[in-house]
Structure 1
Amino acid sequence: MENTVELAPDQLVVTPVGMTKIAALKEAVRVPKAHVVGASIDAGILKESKGLRMPGTAIPGYWAGTFRKAGEETFFNIKQTSEPVVIQLKDARYTRIVIGVAQPRELVDQINNWIATRD
């Protein structure tokens, strides 16, 4: 497991776990609930170019940290063998967050249900 995700009443918090915290160069990524658009599983995203690491780690089969491509920043913390959860954002530093978690499909459902309860 690369990350844990907390859905607080007003924000989403992605916390890298163990050594991935060092590779990702982040203690946590916090995003206000109002900036979370939705979540999905996208197996193809790991085959795409990630862009430039700024800062981050990229070794064969593992990406962690901030990557910039076409003027957008994406936070990655995922192994090639993980099922990628993609969290789409708006009006935030990152355009999206791409992570590996223990139960990806359940997390996608939780995030989409969580944002549906916005005031």
Structure 2
Amino acid sequence: MNRKSILVVDDSPSLREVVGITLRGAGYDVIEAADGRQALQRLDGRRIHLVVCDVNMPVMDGISFVREARKLPRYAFVPIIMLTTEWREESKLEGQMAGARAWMVKPFRPEQMLQAVARLVLP
């Protein structure tokens, strides 16, 4: 069975590490990026089954990344979970309009993350 790949996008190395440990422990391959622009570079033709992305990042924020990723035919329908400190409804709506499928507020519980991933990850 091929392992599923998840792209984790966050400017915090410690948060990428915690999310990575959670996902790798559940059997996923993890690809990391520190901001939206670096994440777009990771969308280089390889198979990505899901993206977990922060909203507030330097260089390119998460909402801008989602909008740009949705323009790429190979990645237009890859599920994206926003993992952020943003809790306001306006932010959630903006993420949804950009193409995010789910919204999780930091700090997260690993089991909560794994449930959302299992529900949304591409086959």
Q: State the TM-score, normalized to the length of structure 1.
A: 0.27
| Structure that is richer in helix per residue | 2
